[in-house]
Amino acid sequence: MISTQSTMLVSSKDMVFSSDNVKKLVERCISKELIPVDWKCDQSDVRSNLQSLFECSRGQLGMFESVTDLFQALTNFLTAPGCANLLQFEGLYTTIPIIHNSIKGVEYVYKMDVLELLSFAIPCPFKDWQAELVRLAVKSRLKCFEAEWSSRFNSHCEMIKMDFGMIKMFAANLNECARALFKNTELCIPHLPDFSNAATDVESTDGSYEILKSFDEKYPMAKNRQFYARMFSWIATVGKLFNKVLEESFMSADDSKATVRLLKNGKDSYVMAHELLQSMKNKNMDVSEFEEEVLKMSNLATFNFREVAQKVKIDDMKNIEFIRINCKESTIAIPIPAPDGTYCVPASDALYDLISDIIVAKKVLQRINREQFEHIRSFFKSLEHIFLVSGGDYFISLDDVEWIKAKWEKTYEDHFKSTAAVKHIRKIRKGGFTEDDLDKELEYLNLYNCFPEMKREVELAYKVVTEDRNITLKLEDMHSAVFQCQMTILLENLPNVCKFLHSQKMCIKWVPYLRCVLCKMPQLDKILNKPPVTKEVIKELVEITTVSVVAPPEETDVIVEEKDQEVTSDVPKKKRSKKTKKSEESNQSTSESSTSPEPEVSNKSQSCPKCSRASHFADVANEKLRVSKVECKHLKKELANAELEVEIQKQKGMDKDERIRQLEELLKSKDNIIERQNMDLLVKQDTILNLEMEVEFNYNIIQGKSKTIEHLEKFLKKKGYRINELEAQQSSELRTMEPTRSDEETEGVRDVLFKLLEIQRTLKSGNPVGKCRELAQRICMKAHNKEIEDATRCEAIKFCEKAKVYIQAVNTQLEMIRGSRVVKPEEIPELPEFPALSKRFLKTHENIFKSEAPKICPSLLKTPEVKPGELADTDCLICIEEMESEEGTIKCECCKRRYHTECVQEWFKTKRTCPACSSVLLDDSEFPTLGRR
């Protein structure tokens, strides 16, 4: 009926769900992009709804082999304590409470799951529409017990001891009542409600009245009186027996021990610090030694089991029941109650859900380019306060998970969302697929467009899906291989995510063949060099720590047997690797001969190059084992002395009761030391077995990675040559550019340097001195006028001298900047103005050659600035001639135009107004300004 902590296999026939609740479950566990728009959740049972979902998905849910796999994945979420409230279920629904085992083998269940657990044992002796109505009525009736039961909770993390015998008896009583109910055909219904009379419509607190009213419209009570009579009798019986079991077996249960969850995440075990503190306080235990430390920690901070054993006193450890909670790996993150009344999930599971949404649901890597990938880097950069690189809490709250999802949805909407259709993984042939098929599928999905380096992951990903598989590869294997390739590329480009996974000890679980650069391979080599821990060593440690006391046969045998049973029940059963089994067989064969020497390390381990160094970690562990062995031997000697004393007392003729009392006191005085040794031994055994499994797993990875490493070394060597070439080319181009600092002064000097280099190139290409001399020579040859020839030569000499001064200034500033001394921008003098040919020279050229003279280095000429209050025209409106300068001109104060003085004086003979604006215009020579001297 109810599974234990192990993997659950629940049949869909046992699940009773309304279609609305099935839809809520699917939307909670599957990304919205993978749920078809045309899917209608309107079938009568769970499997039919999931079958229609699987068919409408058209291969998008190919990561599930069948509807059964999809159903099992959704069922895993129903094991979350209080998941009905998380999903806001209404009407008919079924949850699956899990029974968890403590370290001592006692079965426990969450207090919040007790009502759902008991409802599992309630049969339904009705069929078809009658069964649906009865289940709804029973569900609403049992809700009446929720308030009273919840009032007994001190925390949502609390658990209570489970009694399966009581549940079996409860179910047997209900079955007897059901048989008696159907045998009795003379049941009557006193005070049936009249739904046709509005005056009697009174809403009930549990909703049963509304349920009956809705069914009365379809199945009237007047026509189905016998069924309704049986239903009311059945509901009353169930409620009475349910209340009796709840009060006698749970409300009055002995909860003298504090319950603390031991959360198993992979090979490690953790205890939530605040849960430990709260549970011990509820039982009035002394927490003064670590209370202040815990209060400073975050709400989801944890201690490992070794830290708990060091912080909690021995007497208190006896009164704490540590209950194993396996945080098993699943495609869906399963919430667990947090000490503050909320829910949390493993941080690595939340990260895996996020990456699955990026790769599988939204298929972002199929549609982006290298530039867009920066948005993904920025997004994960913003999550570093949750997924700490240095290693944070192993759990995060559901509020943080929802915040992460909302932030990712906004990032997707802003940068990645597109109306362009994406490609989906195609169906594979019946014979499976090959490595080449996987390569073609990645190319078909356009994954090589942005990530061509993904091609090198094909071989390794294919090996992962084909490892230890003798069956034909299926569609879900193709989904897995494509996902592994994308996951590898994503992690390679997000180094901080890899660091977080390393801190969570998940760095090689997501992508088995992806080597974690943070893992210290020398330590692995040292562990590989160590011989495996044999069965004899473990047996010897157990024998040393399990102490027996010599007493009278009829009494001591019973005590020792109970003690042995307690010790062996605390030792967890572990699967042994192949290496351990081989070493056990070899050690067993050597132990049969009394004169055989101790087993030696095989030649293979001695000659292996990876087993040449000793492991510091294993040495420390062996040293601790040796110390504990010595301590246990001393303890054994002390107990032997105690046994001798008991024997002496026996010889003196003391009565049996006195001897038993003294023996019990002696055992009690030594019990604390023995229990501490037993706990340390359990931890050391777990460490040894975990190391063996890790060594075997990593050794296989190392062997499989050898070819990949050689390929990558060749690839890196080629890249190194290319980088050296680029660096040499870059250094030659930047050798003349000084200084190279990146501060503001250096940037200013660099701008001046670039400007001077541009001017130098212009001077070299323009050749101002040569061009000026060429123009002057051409004019002299065509003028045939001595006055013009003299003026032209003077103009050319004057221009060449100024040009040479300008060129020398440019060269001087370049030498100053390129010198060894660091130059500041304000220390660089301004360049003189580049010379320009006079207007008279240009006009002479135009008169002789009937064309404008070519400009010499026009980019170096300064544009004449227009003074405030003046126009930019340079022609006199009276004579239509160009004004070479402001000298010999008169300006109109109204329109700001200038005229030749001679032209204006001729104009004044007829008018005293401005030729442009007709305002009064006066000659300064005739009418000087008042106040001048």
Contact of 391 with 405, CB cutoff 8 Å: no
Q: How many angstroms separate the CA atoms of 433 and 343, rounded?
A: 42
Residue 805 has pLDDT above 80, yes or no: yes
Q: How many angstroms separate the CA atoms of 564 and 674, rounded?
A: 12
Instruction: Kindly give, in sequence order, each residue whose CB lies less than 8 Å from that of residue 894, ignoring residues fewer than 6 positions away.
Output: 914, 917, 919
Strand partners, 159: 110
Contact of 323 with 102, CB cutoff 8 Å: yes
Q: How many angstroms separate the CA atoms of 312 and 288, rounded?
A: 10
**Mean of the pLDDT values across residues 106-131?**
86
* Relative orientation angle of helices 535-545 and 616-651, to the nearest 10 degrees: 40
pLDDT digits (tens, 9 = 90+) for 823-860: 777 778 888 888 888 888 888 888 888 888 888 888 88
Q: What percent of the chain has pLDDT over 70?
A: 75
624 vs 112, 199, 531, 617, 932, CA distance in Å? 42, 81, 17, 11, 110
Instruction: Kindly give, in sequence order, each residue whose CB lies less than 8 Å from that of residue 910, ignoring residues fewer than 6 positions away.
Output: none
Burial of 560 (0-12, 13-18, 19+ CB in 10 A): middle
More confident residue, 205 or 391: 391
Strand partners, 39: none
pLDDT digits (tens, 9 = 90+) for 256-269: 788 999 988 767 88
Containing 189, the helix (H) or strand (E) segment is none
Containing 834, the helix (H) or strand (E) segment is none
pLDDT digits (tens, 9 = 90+) for 857-889: 888 876 554 454 444 456 787 887 777 666 678
**pLDDT at residue 923, rounded to an integer:** 65
- Could you tell me which CATH class the domain 870-932 is placed in? alpha beta
* Average pLDDT, rounded, for the chain: 75
**pLDDT at residue 198, rounded to an integer:** 35
Where exactly are the structural domains of the chain? 1-98, 99-253, 258-345, 372-528, 638-713, 767-860, 870-932
State both tokens at 124: 């339904």
Residue 603 has pLDDT above 90, yes or no: no
**pLDDT at residue 410, rounded to an integer:** 93
Q: How many angstroms separate the CA atoms of 517 and 499, rounded?
A: 9
Residue 188 has pLDDT above 60, yes or no: no
Q: How many angstroms separate the CA atoms of 816 and 796, rounded?
A: 30
Q: How many angstroms separate the CA atoms of 711 and 715, rounded?
A: 6
SS3 29: helix
Neighbours of 734 (CB within 10 A): 10
Which of the four pLDDT bands, split at 50, 70 and 90, describes residue 6?
very low
pTM: 0.55
Query: Considering only 180-189, 205-214, 900-909, which range has the smallest mean pLDDT?
Result: 205-214
Which of the four pLDDT bands, split at 50, 70 and 90, describes residue 178?
confident
What's the one-letter identity of residue 388?
L
State both tokens at 316: 């208190």
CA proximity to 159, closest of 122, 113, 124: 113
Instruction: Kindly give, in sequence order, each residue whose CB lies less than 8 Å from that of residue 351, ignoring residues fewer than 6 positions away.
Output: 387, 497, 500, 501
More confident residue, 215 or 480: 480
Contact of 448 with 488, CB cutoff 8 Å: no
pLDDT digits (tens, 9 = 90+) for 629-643: 787 877 877 787 777
Strands 898-900 and 100-101: unpaired
CA proximity to 705, closest of 511, 531, 528: 511
**pLDDT at residue 932, rounded to an integer:** 40
SS3 56: helix
Q: How many angstroms separate the CA atoms of 843 and 864, rounded?
A: 19
Query: Considering only 144-148, 675-679, 752-756, which range has the smallest mean pLDDT?
Result: 675-679
**pLDDT at residue 404, rounded to an integer:** 93
Q: How many angstroms separate the CA atoms of 650 and 577, rounded?
A: 49
pLDDT digits (tens, 9 = 90+) for 687-719: 787 787 778 777 777 876 777 887 788 778 877
Radius of gyration of the chain (CA): 46
Sequential DSSP letters for 391-435? ---SEEEHHHHHHHHHHHHHHIIIII--SS----PPPPPTT---H
Sign of the torsion angle spanned by Cα atoms 23, 26, 31, 37: negative
Residue 739 has pLDDT above 70, yes or no: no
Q: What is the number of helices (H) and of strands (E) in the chain?
A: 34, 12
More confident residue, 57 or 596: 57
Instruction: Kindly give, in sequence order, each residue whose CB lies less than 8 Å from that of residue 152, ignoring residues fewer than 6 positions away.
Output: 111, 251
Q: Please provide residue 457's backbone torsions phi and psi, each rounded to the nearest 5 degrees.
A: -90, -5
Sign of the torsion angle spanned by Cα atoms 376, 381, 385, 391: positive
pLDDT digits (tens, 9 = 90+) for 490-533: 888 888 888 888 888 777 777 666 666 566 443 333 333 444 44
More confident residue, 590 or 420: 420
Residue 226 has pLDDT above 90, yes or no: no
Which of the four pLDDT bands, split at 50, 70 and 90, describes residue 593?
very low
**pLDDT at residue 517, rounded to an integer:** 56
CA of residue 902 relative to chain centroid, distance = 88
Which DSSP category does 678 fall into?
A: H
What's the one-letter identity of residue 177?
C
Q: How many angstroms separate the CA atoms of 307 and 230, rounded?
A: 58
DSSP alpha helix (H) spans, 827-884: 839-849
**pLDDT at residue 354, rounded to an integer:** 92
pLDDT digits (tens, 9 = 90+) for 773-786: 888 888 888 888 88
Sequential DSSP letters for 457-484? GHHHHHHHHHTT--SPP-HHHHHHHHHH
Strand partners, 263: 270, 325
